[in-house]
Amino acid sequence: MLLEAIADQLRRLNPEALVRPFLDKVAASDADVIVNEDLRDVEVDKPALEQEGFALVRIVAPPELRAARRQQRGDVSSSDKSASFVHGLSYRYTIENRRGIDEYESNVRTVLEQLLDS
């Protein structure tokens, strides 16, 4: 929740305050695959990432499973306030994360192969 508040304030000062440094690092990288796993802004960050060729991938897991995993990790709080917009977005891919790690890794591998082939 604190980090969300800081991000909100940074974006008020400069709408590109978070996405621009990230894209600068992307430009300087020679990696074949780069993942931004925490999109929180659809007005500036999302279009900037898509313009640079990023594909929007959604990972879905039931709320009760997500809560159990957070508890196992010892997370003391969770805020989905800044991610409440995700249901209205269109995604190039959706990855199911409802069962075990083997199935999840297989699903991720399949999407990565499709992205690298496109």
60 with 105, same domain: the answer is: yes
47 with 60, same domain: the answer is: no
Q: Could you give the CA distance from residue 3 to residue 24 in angstroms, rounded to a whole number?
A: 21
29, 52, 75: which is the final residue of a domain?
A: 52
Which domain range does residue 43 map to? 1-52
80 with 109, same domain: the answer is: yes
pTM: 0.77
**One-letter identity of residue 95:** I
pLDDT digits (tens, 9 = 90+) for 6-53: 988 999 999 999 999 999 999 999 998 899 988 888 899 999 999 999
Q: Which two tokens stand for residue 97?
A: 């994360």
Closest listed residue to residue 96, CA positions, set 88, 108, 85: 108
Rg (the chain; Cα; Å): 16
Say if residue 85's pLDDT is above 70: no
First to last CA, the chain: 37
Residue 57: φ, ψ to 5°:
-120, 130
Q: Could you give the CA distance from residue 98 to residue 26 in angstroms, rounded to a whole number?
A: 31
41 with 90, same domain: the answer is: no
pLDDT at residue 78 in the model: 65
Say if residue 100's pLDDT is above 70: yes
DSSP 3-state of 93 = strand
Say if residue 88's pLDDT is above 80: no
44 with 60, same domain: the answer is: no
Tokens 């508040």 sit on residue: 5
Largest CA distance in the chain: 43
Q: Could you give the CA distance from residue 36 to residue 54 in angstroms, rounded to a whole number?
A: 9
61 with 117, same domain: the answer is: yes
Number of domains in the chain: 2
